[in-house]
Amino acid sequence: MVRVLVYLAVFAALAVGAVWLADRPGEVSLVWQGWRVDTSVALAAIAVVVLSLLTMLAFGLLRFVFGLPGAFSFASRARRRARGFEAVSRGMVAIGAGDPVAAGRHAVDARRYAGNEPLTLLLEAQAAQLSGDRGRAEAAFKAMLDKPETRVLGLRGLFVEAKRRGDMAAARAFADDAVRRSPSLAWANDALLDFHTQAGDWQAARTAVERRAALRLADKADAKRQRAVLLAAEALEARGSAPEKALAAALEAVKLAPGLTPAAALAGRMLGERGDVRKAVKLLEAAWKEVSHPDIAAAYLDVRPGDSAQDRLARATTLAKLRPADPEGVLALAGAAIHARDFAKARSTLKPLLAGGASVRACLLMAELEEAEHGAAGRVREWLARATRAPRDAAWVADGLVSDQWMPVSPISGRLDAFVWTVPPATLSSQGTDLDDVLADLDDDSRPLIEARAETVEPAPAAVAPPAAPAPAPAPAKADSPSEPAPKPESVPAMAPASEAKPAIVGEPKTEAKADPTTETKQETKPEPALVAEPVMGVGEGRPKPVIFPVAHAPDDPGPEEVQPVEDKKGKFRLFG
């Protein structure tokens, strides 16, 4: 629409000019080289316009003729450039498809047709990386440093190659250079943060975190948490050398992240050591409300040095009320009750945990309780054995590593704030642990109890008596008598084979003992779980006789009622108390 209006305006102006010239007639005379030309003004104006058009046409024709070589050269360059970019496109597709041969061929074509273009250098570098030629890849990245538009890309490639060959000093130098040239590079800032944390330079790491937050390269909440972790690491490192600096860093870390357990526990302990008990108690209670952790509970119980066991028990009761039914609070209260020798309270406190499946720490506390209250070594061993098969307690876990101590950086991946307080996966199962291995460090008094729970008893080799004259068979006795030998037929020779001296198996039915064919006596088939067979020298016929007799219980054995289920022993331990 605008163009139509412009055209109409131009035509209107020409019409107005023609009318204006027609209304004002005149003559124009031109005398040149003896020639005289007389014409009107209108024809003179038309002649000027035509002459101008002819001049412009002639100038354009001459320019075209003289510009033909350059036009041919430009067209050739354009065709080569188009072929070069086509080779770059096909090379990128080959790299995406994982074809190093095709990628290298297209990189050569791109270099031939497109020259030293940025995309050509990138294709060469990636083709070299795909084929494993690190030297050619580094050469391509170094060539990128000569051009301002590809300098940062070259630094990124050299950084990656330096990390691959393990040259961390060169990688850090490339990352520093990249940050100086372009401060908003996310990869360079992340790399510098990793380098600072792995070197233990917590101050420089905090500067890197603040720069990332200012450039909006990280979320504000994440940056705040990372600052708190770095302050906690700095406090733990400076606790012995600079206590004031460590306390200030720990308090700032708790202010940034109240649920950061290491910082809260350290700040509470240091405040308690300085005598500021009220502030320490307030800080630890706030941290306990955020997350229950045994380190916070231990720091809370030890907040005032020199307190009695009853004072610690009262403090543990207060802590447990802040998070009712929390397992960590229950364990802390039970431990304090055991130390205060309030065994009834400890047992009633642990009862809910035992009903829901006791963990390792709960089993260990029960073992400590049995030892402190009754001194029952048998029950202590039972709880220790159960602890080896109990569910695991929570621990610090990061990248598949389980640690008892918190660390600011994962030793596996070097990641900051990688450790999480959680129950580790059951990769180290204790189901196959032998009972003898579990209780190997106990005294020898435990051996009778262990042996009484064995499913089978290996028979001892039968002793062979010297040949003797056969003696008349004694009167038949009852087969179930534990103190007399079984009847022996007269036809059996005095020299009995060793297989006949095999003792009975505990918990299995007895086999029938055949006597004289005329007087055959069968023994009743019934299990005897509380008896252990031991081969001893019997009486009669000059050969050993297996005698079954009950073995007395060990002094700390709970008794036959609790030892009875020996057949269901696979990976299970009976609870006592």
Helix (H) or strand (E) holding 402: strand 401-403
| Bridge partners, 534 (sequence order) | 547
**How far is Cα of residue 336 from the mean position of the Cα atoms in its chain?**
34
User: Helix 68-97 vs helix 41-66: angle between axes, to the nearest 10 degrees?
Assistant: 50
Cβ pair 488, 541 in contact under 8 A: yes
Radius of gyration of the chain from Cα atoms?
48
Residue carrying structure tokens 């209670």:
285
Specify the DSSP class assigned to residue 409.
B
pLDDT at 14: 81
pLDDT at 427: 56
Cβ pair 330, 298 in contact under 8 A: no
Q: Residue 265, Cβ neighbours under 10 Å: how many? A: 25
pTM of the predicted structure, to 2 decimals? 0.62
Is the CA virtual torsion 161, 164, 166, 169 positive or negative?
Answer: positive
Residue carrying structure tokens 């940025």:
118
Cβ pair 101, 133 in contact under 8 A: no
- 524, amino acid identity: E
Identify which of 328, 244, 317, 249 has the alpha carbon closest to the alpha carbon of residue 288.
328
pLDDT at 567: 40
Identify which of 568, 184, 218, 171 has the alpha carbon closest to the alpha carbon of residue 417.
218
Identify which of 508, 498, 389 has the alpha carbon closest to the alpha carbon of residue 454.
508
Question: What is the chain's pLDDT, residue by residue, as a tens digit (577 residues)?
Answer: 888 898 889 888 888 887 887 777 777 787 888 888 888 777 887 888 888 999 999 988 888 888 777 777 777 778 888 888 899 999 999 999 999 899 999 999 988 888 778 888 889 999 998 988 888 899 999 999 988 888 999 999 999 999 999 999 999 999 999 999 999 999 999 999 999 999 999 999 999 999 999 998 889 999 999 999 999 999 999 998 999 999 999 999 999 999 899 999 999 999 999 999 999 999 999 999 999 999 999 999 999 988 899 999 999 999 999 998 899 999 999 999 999 999 999 999 999 888 877 889 999 999 999 999 988 899 999 999 999 989 889 999 999 899 989 999 999 988 999 999 999 886 543 333 333 333 333 344 433 333 433 333 333 333 333 444 444 444 443 333 333 334 434 333 344 333 333 333 333 333 343 444 333 434 444 444 433 333 333 333 343 333 333 333 333 333 333 433 334 433 333 333 3
